[in-house]
Amino acid sequence: MKTLQFSNKDTMHCIGLGTWKAKGNEVKQAVKDALYAGYRHIDTAAVYGNETEIGEALAEVFAEGNIFREDVFITSKLWNNAHKEGQVIPALQQSLDRLQLDYLDLYLIHWPVAFKGNVDYPQKPSDYYSLEEVPIIETWKQMETAKESGMARHIGVSNFSDIKLKDLVSKAKLKPEMNQVELHPLLQQDDLLAYCRSENIFMTAYSPLGSGDRSEAMKGEDEPNLLDIETIKKVARKHNASVGQILIAWHCHRGTAVIPKSTSKEHIEENFKAARIELDETDMKEIAALDECRRFITGEFFEEPSKGYRDIYDEKS
Ligand code: NDP
């Protein structure tokens, strides 16, 4: 398995298990299946509502004595309603308690958006703090404390554009070590990747398979299906692999991590085996040509009428 190595020599498996929308016993079993299949990297978030079940799975597997806490890289994320001064460390402690852990391997600011304390999902403009009211650096300073205290071995961000990252890097005492964003052949984000590389910030690809099981309400019109792209199917045939495996292997070859979500044992095992696929230059060139800056996670659910959601990604012209 390819790994990303942090400056302190900690490593993170290139392929991890995503868990958004996976709940209850299903996610508990998925985490166990993943660990038994060889995964050593699990991604969750406070807002996924599944940290408790993931914690139970981890505790049960660790108690068996064959896989140790220090072998598994566990990421969680700060939700948008705990960005203000004094809120980050308690939120992180809650995640640790639910996960039954003493430390996280990676803690991320989930979105560069701050909600008022009791708001899970905003309904109206007054549910948001403006960036002037709660600047990202205020949140980041608490993330730095999380790292300095050992509660999180690494800290980073998610859904940050290069504009927001550059600003944060210019103000931070401890640089973000990760930016977790949507990445796949239809959204390659070469410029963001180049910027992150230049600053030694790793990237993790989310929704690598097109985020299949979102509710219909969250899906855009005429959404393409990543699993049905002719070029990827051709590459898959050439390598005697599945389309999903090619979509996953592509990230390992680009040097990012990737966190496909699955609760199916068969998919979990299939996705992990993507690590064995060696894509060549021709494959990479053909896939590079597919980019169309197409997002599945548009950020629309954070739409603030006065601003427009595209502000989140700084894509507004
Ligand atoms: P993915 O792109 O990983 O797609 C998940 C879907 O693909 C599920 O329906 C799953 O079904 C299916 N699937 C899994 N493996 C295969 C396979 N081999 N062949 C065919 N279908 C397959 O979606 P997500 O949006 O969940 O992204 C992955 C992870 O990234 C999340 O779970 C989360 O951890 C993270 N994420 C982070 C975000 C952020 O803001 N930081 C935003 C979005 C995601 P089944 O379960 O039946 O296998």
pLDDT tens string 128-186? 998 889 999 999 999 999 999 999 999 999 999 999 999 999 999 999 999 999 999 99
Bridge partners for 152 per DSSP? 104
Cα atoms in the 13 Å half-sphere on the side-chain side of 164 = 22
- pLDDT tens digits for 268-312? 999 999 999 999 999 999 999 999 999 999 877 676 655 544 578
Helices (H), the chain: 24-37, 51-64, 88-99, 136-148, 162-171, 190-198, 230-238, 243-254, 265-272, 281-288
249 Cα–ligand 1 center, Å: 15
Please work out whether the CB of residue 271 comes within 6 Å of at least one atom of ligand 1.
Answer: yes
Cα 227 to Cα 118, 235, 236, 280: the distances in Å are: 38, 12, 11, 20
The answer to whether residues 29 and 35 touch, using CB atoms and an 8 Å cutoff, is: no
pTM exceeds 0.90, yes or no: yes
The fraction of the chain above a pLDDT of 90, given in percent, is 85
Nearest CA to ligand 1 atom 20: 244
**Nearby residues of 119 by Cβ (< 8 Å), 6 or more positions away:** 81, 127
**What is the arithmetic mean of pLDDT over 3-17?**
98
Q: Which atom of ligand 1 is nearest to the CA of 260?
A: 3
Judge contact between 264 and 242, C-beta under 8 A: no
- Mean pLDDT over 208-216 rounds to 82
Residue 78, φ and ψ in degrees, nearest 5 = -75, 125
Q: Is the CB of 49 under 6 A from ligand 1?
A: no
Average pLDDT of the segment spanning 54-79: 98
Burial of 269 (0-12, 13-18, 19+ CB in 10 A): middle
Please report how many Cα atoms fall inside a 13 Å half-sphere around the Cα of residue 141, on the Cβ side. Answer: 8
Rg of the chain over Cα atoms, rounded to whole angstroms, equals 19
3-state class (DSSP) for residue 271: helix
Distance 272 CA to ligand 1 centre (A): 13
Please tell me the predicted confidence (pLDDT) of residue 308: 46
Average pLDDT on 115-127 reads 88
Does ipTM come in above 0.85?
Answer: yes
Q: DSSP assignment of 33-72, as one string?
A: HHHHHT--EEE--GGGT-HHHHHHHHHHHHHHTSS-GGG-
Q: Is the pLDDT at 214 greater than 80, yes or no?
A: no
Tokens of 166: 């550059």
Using CA positions, which residue lies closest to atom 37 of ligand 1?
Answer: 206
Q: Which amino acids are annotated catalytic? A: 48
Distance from the CA of 21 to the center of ligand 1, in angstroms?
A: 9
